[in-house]
Structure formats: structure tokens, C-alpha cells
Amino acid sequence: MTLLQPTLAVPPVPSRNWSIPAEGHARRVRALRREVHRIADEVIDAGTFHFGPQTARLEQRIAAHWGGAAVATTSCTQALTLALRVAGVRPGDEVVLPAATFAATAFAVCETGAVPVIVDVAEPSLTLCPQALRAAITPRTRAVIAVHLHGHMADMPEILAVGREHGLAVVEDCAQAAGAALDGRAAGTWGDFGCFSFWVGKCVGGLADGGAVVTDSAERAARLRRLTDMGRERGQRHVHRDRGARARLGELDAGLIALELERQPAWLARRSAIASHYSEAFADLPVGPPQVLPGHRHAYYKFAVDCPDPVGLGAFLAGRGIETEQVYPYLLPDQPAFRHIEYRSRVTSRSAGAGRRLCLPAYAELSDAEVEEVALAVGDFATGAKGRKAR
């Protein structure tokens, strides 16, 4: 068997107006229109566009939410890159990460000059397999990135144990996991750094891009903050103490993300209720809802069902005006970009289950009627019923 093949042939997604889109952020932002205008007015009145009161409020809120210190960034990609640098990752080092993730996880490693070492994920969560991590460690391994995929945390106790045993920095990619927890301990607070995405499409997001790093070390937080602003300390505009980056978050995004964090518990409760509804509706169908392992709280960034024919199900739902998506149909080593960058693949067949997943709309902004419509359509597909007329 050749493993470096796409796990699935993905048909191009036609551009159309879906009656139920796969993601809910356009609805969320529209619903927050007044608040966005108010925050924009506050920013304009203050005349401070970076490192102002909105960013201070956001960092305080993140720290209150997750504990430790928080540093706002322009994206999770920057958060990961800067966290790896602060962790001491240098050119030529190796950083282990899972095969089923967004390319940004690996690109952040490349940005430091280190080599991404891509390993298997474990079923059913499709998160980093601790045994695969252990097997991939060499004398050059410096760090590991655990990705909490779809909103389900990786096996942090095991990953931390392996990491500590080998003196690795442990970075959590929480881009999809704001709200996830294991044994009551939030995603992002297990490793040395928790890196979040507040891209508009996440469960909590600004108007465009945003991110943050959480860490329990004030010293690391101070260095991270400096790195987000070209290596400068606050108030020292012309002194660059470090090779920094342009990674400071704008005030408008910061204000909106801070406001959304307040609402996030209610949104998470709604996502969880929708997930329970789907899980009950699919109980007798060959469509497996995401499994939540004991002790875990799922953040339901994605509701990824495991089904034998994800392409067929996606096409059937498209006929009913329901958009779905595959996250991620290709494992990292199968991406064209990896023909051009240095990486090592330690991927075996165990990661292949990623191609069987299809993500259904399951966001907080869905109405009850829409949730019912999706559940019925999935049922019709699974039972072979023709169902109602396609829209």
C-alpha cells in the first residue's frame, strides 16, 4: 500500500448560496453588528489601534478563562511560530506533529527553520498518537505539537509524559479547541504553551484573523509579547531587542474577540445540545457521531461524522441545500506544498480514517428547524429514502 496518496478524492466545492451553510460565522458577525459598530467607535475615539484598552481587556479575559498569562497575536499560525521560538526551537531541530491537521501547524515549524516530523493520529479522535510520538523521537527532537482536532483534545496526559521524559517542549495547537477540556482542565493549559486561533470562522473569532498564546510563565509571556511587535518593549519604539515579527493584534478584532469570549459558554452549550440531538438521531444509522472519550469535554468546533461514503453523503446533502465540508481529507504529507519543504513522514496506515469524516453544520447559530432538517436529510441518505424534493 502506498501511503502518500490522498485519502480521498475531493470534488470541487461549487460556489452557491446554501440554505444551510457549513459554517455559521457570517450569521454570528451579522448578529453582532451593533456591538461591532460600538467597538469600532470606541477604537476610533481612543485613537489607539494596537496595544490599547481592547487588547488589554482581551488578554485579561483570556487569562481569566485559561489561567496564566495571555498574549494576543494576529493568528494561531503566528502564535505557534512564536511559541516554538520561545521554546528554544532552532534551525535543524525536529518538531513532531500529527498528520491530520491544518497545514499551518507544520508551516509554523518550518518558519523556525526546524523540520516537521509528521506522525500518525489515533482513532477515534484523530489526534496525535502518543506511541507514534515516542517512536519518532531522535536526538534532534526539540518539541511536540499536540493538535486538538475538531474540538476534541489529544491524549495530553500521555503526550506530556513522553514529552517530559525526553525533555521536549510541549505546545498545544488549540486552534479548534477553545472550550475543550480533559478532566476539568482546559485545552491550552496542559503544555508549556497553548496556541489559539480567533480567525472569524472559529467558534470565537474577530472580524478577520486573530490568535493568542497562553502560558503559565510571565517571563515567556513578556518575550512573546515583544516578539509580536518587532522585538520591541512597550514604550521603546526604536529599540529592537529581539528578532521580532509583525504579529500584534488590532484593537477592533481584540474588542470583538473579548466580547465573544463572554458569550462563548452559551454558544458551547448550544453546540453541545445540537451534537446530542444529532447523536440520538443517528443512533441506528451507519453514520457515527464524534466519539467523546471519557473525561473529555468536546468543544464541537466541527461535528465530524464517520461514514463509509462521505462524498456520497456530502453530495446528497448538497442536493438539499445543506453544505458540508471535510476537515481534513488530505493528510499533511499528501499536500503539494510538502513536495517543496523539508519534512519527515512517519505516517502509517493508522491515519487513514481521517478521509471517512464529513463535517455537518452544527454551529450555535442554527435554528432548531435547521438542525432537524440536517438530521432528517442524513437519515434519508442513510436509509436510501428519496426524501423531500431537492431545493
Ligand X SMILES: Cc1ncc(COP(=O)(O)O)c(C=O)c1O
Q: Which residues are near ligand X by CB under 6 A?
A: 75-77, 101-102, 104-105, 147, 173, 175-176, 197, 199, 209, 211
Beta strands in the chain (DSSP E): 69-73, 94-98, 115-119, 121-122, 127-128, 141-147, 169-173, 181-182, 185-186, 193-197, 211-215, 296-297, 303-306, 344-346, 357-360
CB of residue 319 vs ligand X: minimum separation in angstroms? 28
Residue nearer to ligand X on the CB measure, 76 or 169: 76
Q: Is 130 helix (H, G, I), strand (E, B) or coil?
A: helix
H-helix or E-strand spanning residue 322: none
* Grid coordinates given for 75: 493568528
Proportion of the chain in helix, strand, coil states, percent, rounded to 5: 40, 15, 45
Residue 209 or residue 365: which is nearer to ligand X going by CB? 209
How far is 4 from 262, CA to CA, in rounded Å?
A: 43
Q: How far is the CB of 381 from ligand X (least distance, A)?
A: 27
Return the number of the residue (25 or 277) whose C-beta is nearest ligand X: 25
Distance (Å, rounded) from C-alpha 31 to C-alpha 11?
A: 32
By beta-carbon proximity to ligand X, the closer residue of 55 and 101 is 101
Residue 114 backbone phi and psi in degrees, to 5: -85, 170
Task: Collect all residues with Cβ–Cβ distance below 8 Å to 317 and sequence separation of at least 6.
Answer: 323, 324, 360, 374, 377, 378, 381
Q: How far is the CB of 209 from ligand X (least distance, A)?
A: 6
Q: Which is nearer to ligand X, 304 or 375 (CB)?
A: 304
Shortest distance (Å) from residue 41 CB to ligand X: 26
User: Given the complex with ligand X, which of 267 and 301 has the nearer CB atom?
Assistant: 301
CB 50 within 8 A of CB 36: no
Q: How many CA atoms lie within 13 A of 69 on its CB side?
A: 13
Residue closer to ligand X (CB basis): 162 or 247? 247
Please give the grid coordinates belonging to residue 91.
534551525
- Burial track 342-361 (b if 16+ CB lie within 10 A, e otherwise): ebebebeebbbbbbbbbbbb
C-alpha cell at 298: 468536546
CB of 391 to ligand X, least distance (A): 30
CA distance 177 to 281: 25
**Closest approach of ligand X to the CB of residue 149, in Å:** 7
Taking the complex as a whole, the smallest distance from the CB of residue 137 to ligand X amounts, in Å, to 22
**What's the rounded Cα separation, in Å, for the pair 20 and 38?**
29
CB of 83 to ligand X, least distance (A): 12
> To the nearest whole angstrom, how small is the minimum distance from the Cβ of residue 168 to ligand X?
19
User: 24 or 211, CB closer to ligand X?
Assistant: 211
The reply to whether omega before 328 is within 30° of 0 (cis) is: yes
Distances (CA, A) of 200 to 257, 292, 343: 9, 26, 30
* Shorter beta-carbon distance to ligand X: residue 76 or 332: 76
Q: Is the CB of 102 or the CB of 330 nearer to ligand X? A: 102
Beta carbon of residue 87, minimum distance to ligand X (angstroms, whole number): 16
Residues 143, 148, 150, 155, CA torsion sign: positive
